[in-house]
Chains A and B, each alone.
Chain A
Amino acid sequence: MKKEKKMKLSLPEVELMNSGHMACQGCGATLAMRFALKALGQKVALCIPACCWSVIDGPFPYSSLDVPIFHCAFETAAVSASGVKAGLEMVGDKETTVVAWAGDGGTFDIGIQALSGVAERNDDIIYICYDNEAYMNTGIQRSSATPYGAWTTTTPVKHFKNRPKKDMEAIMAAHRIPYIATASIGYPEDLVKKVKKAKEIKGTKFLHIFAPCPPGWKSQPEDTIKLARMAVQNAIFPLYEIEWGEKYTLNIKLKEKKPINDYLKIQGRFRHLTKKEIVFIQEEVDKKWERLLLCVNRSK
């Protein structure tokens, strides 16, 4: 008898996200949730503050997710999760993983105080920031996660964003929490691996997922995965882990670091940039990459 060859899936088969959600075409945040839930499984509770996902999930009485959700106040994702975790423990549920799931505005800006408090106490939650680099749900306003040079409705081309993206990983590393990782919807296996790893660690875990946004980035929906992969390969968004604020590990090594030009070119939000500005951005990316390699090498 011929032996049947079984195809092996590189991602968990479980699907906790259903069709019928309210996301835009080519939404990176939607993939981020789908992959994260594959890694987390059913025994999970989500705290979602104001962000695209508070709409994507669907209006009352619908939900596109098969897991419980606490839609919480904008600036409270992290501490709402701490509260849920404490509450569950006190009613006898010590197993459920509690996840704060917030956008970049809710993380880098308005939610950073509560997040810092949670991290300093090392409360046992996973904090996941899906980063589309601006306030997309309110119609593309700049956040402190918006990169240098980008157009948004509050950084018009005549006065584009002239400050760098906040280094959230460095801020979180300064809290000496057990686990920090960057991840990308362009690298789902790496993303799932990191969420699974975070699930097994006690204490505060911070995951930062790069999630392109076609309407906000003025890019084509079919380029979402491409953009996510390019941002890793040109080191605009490198994939790495930090353990206890000190041990850096690079997960996707770059044989050849790609230039940023092609990445910028297919996004309308960067269309206004002159050569001089693009050179400046490249220099900044290079410097940041060198700094990261230094941290990685020091950890060896």
Chain B
Amino acid sequence: MKKVIMGNHALSYGAKLGRAQVIAAYPITPQTQVVELLSEMCADKSLDAMFIKVESEHSAMAACLGASLAGARTFTATSAQGLALMHELLHWASGGRLPVVMGNINRAMAPGWSIWSDQNDSLSQRDTGWMQFYCSSNQEVLDTVIQAFKVSEKLLIPSMVILDAFTLSHTYEVVDIPDQKKVDEYLPPFNPSIKLTPEEPHAFGGLTSPEHYFELRYKLQKEMEKAPALIEKTGKEYEKMFGRYLGLVEKHRCDDADLILITSGAMGSTARIAVDELRKEGIKAGNLRIKVFRPFPFEIIRNAVKGAKKIAVVDRNISYGHHGMFFEEVKSALYGYSDGLPVFGFITGLGGRDITPSTFKEITQYTLERDKPKEEIIWIGVKL
């Protein structure tokens, strides 16, 4: 069934179709519609779930962890300050191997107060052991929630499904809402082999000496390394059943491109438009949108840029004292594999400043005019 819905409701429908059993959430702009719709779904019993209306994001995640440990499928959603407040428990989720799925609406961090989009909230959580999926359409948001449950529960690693504030969260798009029966076929119920139950008492997360801790973290990484292949496999299965592939990256006219613009999130669709326009002007540009940031898809990125002469990475985030974070990661992936391919690092759109096709044209212009980057960070659109 096709519906015109906002990105936030795409998250709610994803959680509903995924049959989340325990939801715990706290309101924050621009996430509120996610939990409003889920509250209604729980109230009218169209979703058989318990909704714990907690007093903070910290408690939202804590409740999800408890419920997940008891063997229930859990979902929450947040944004920016709320995600930062959860930080401690993000480690608890991955360390405890609890496959919580969470929606995060990318919003800039205060101060000054901002409710608009940038990626510093979720990228600040990159080392917490969560998988991170950056979506570029409402359809992809809905589909990815369902896929995330499947991948997370197989690996026992939590997932964050990420969408841009307002550009996606509050923008209405046509979304195909899959049939529940087919989703049930794709996503079987969560049934962990070990869980918290008096039938078989275990102590979870207790004091762990240097004799054991190291191996637990090794195992977490080893499972994380299985994620890229599993995401591709489950993405293909999804395509077979629902007609939409869910992969690690999305390529647009990359195969014969001289210049590849690397993007993430909603700006990926803007970049596609820019690429098509640039092509009309005779510039052989392409767009590689990185969807999965953790685990980082090294292999597929190395292969995708093989024929290119230049790379421009566009970040809507910054690691202060360093670079844009996608730029760092792309360079690290290409090191030793790309034979001196120049990689330009651009930062733009912080705090919700618009990113338009002309932004990408400016970036393209800059890149074409230079053999290699002269600056560590190339700022686009700063008004001084």
A residues at B contact (CB < 8 Å): 42-45, 47, 54-55, 57-61, 63, 65-73, 75-76, 79-91, 93, 96, 113-114, 116-117, 120-121, 123
Given the complex of chains A and B, what is the CA–CA distance between A205 and B88 in angstroms?
A: 27
Contact of B66 among A59, A72, A75 (CB under 8 A): A72
Known: A59-B207, A76-B89, A87-B74. A82 touches B66 (CB 8 A): yes
13 extra A-B contacts, CB within 8 A, seeds A58-B203, A59-B208, A71-B207: A54-B206, A60-B206, A68-B196, A70-B204, A71-B205, A79-B59, A83-B24, A86-B22, A86-B66, A87-B71, A90-B49, A90-B67, A114-B55
Check A70–B197 contact: CB distance below 8 A: no
Given the complex of chains A and B, what is the CA–CA distance between A113 and B21 in angstroms?
A: 25
Residues of B with C-beta under 8 A to A89: 50
**Interface: B280 (CB within 8 A):** no
Shortest CB-to-CB span from B119 to chain A, Å, is: 26
**Interface: B155 (CB within 8 A):** no
**Interface: B282 (CB within 8 A):** no
**Interface: B56 (CB within 8 A):** yes
Shortest CB-to-CB span from A100 to chain B, Å, is: 10
Q: Mark B193-235, 1 if CB is under 8 A from A, else 0.
A: 0011110111111111100100000000000000000000000
Given the complex of chains A and B, what is the CA–CA distance between A88 and B195 in angstroms?
A: 10
Check B52–A58 contact: CB distance below 8 A: no
Known: A81-B66, A86-B63. A72 touches B74 (CB 8 A): no
Check A68–B22 contact: CB distance below 8 A: no
Given the complex of chains A and B, what is the CA–CA distance between A85 and B201 in angstroms?
A: 16
Contact of A80 among B63, B198, B200 (CB under 8 A): B63
Interface size class of B (residues with CB under 8 A): 35 or more
Number of A-B residue pairs, CB cutoff 8 Å, is 166
Check A87–B206 contact: CB distance below 8 A: no
Known: A65-B201, A114-B58, A117-B56. A80 touches B208 (CB 8 A): no
Check B70–A88 contact: CB distance below 8 A: yes
Contact of B203 among A55, A71, A93 (CB under 8 A): A71
Check A68–B201 contact: CB distance below 8 A: yes
Check B63–A83 contact: CB distance below 8 A: yes
Q: Mark B61-72, 1 if CB is under 8 A from A, else 0.
A: 011111111111
Check B69–A87 contact: CB distance below 8 A: yes
**Interface: B242 (CB within 8 A):** no
Given the complex of chains A and B, what is the CA–CA distance between A275 and B89 in angstroms?
A: 48
Check A83–B71 contact: CB distance below 8 A: no
A to B CB contacts below 8 Å, 30 in the list: A44-B198, A45-B196, A47-B66, A54-B206, A54-B207, A55-B207, A57-B203, A59-B208, A63-B203, A66-B201, A68-B196, A68-B197, A68-B200, A69-B201, A70-B66, A70-B204, A71-B207, A72-B65, A79-B66, A81-B66, A83-B69, A84-B70, A87-B68, A87-B69, A87-B70, A90-B21, A91-B72, A91-B195, A117-B54, A117-B55
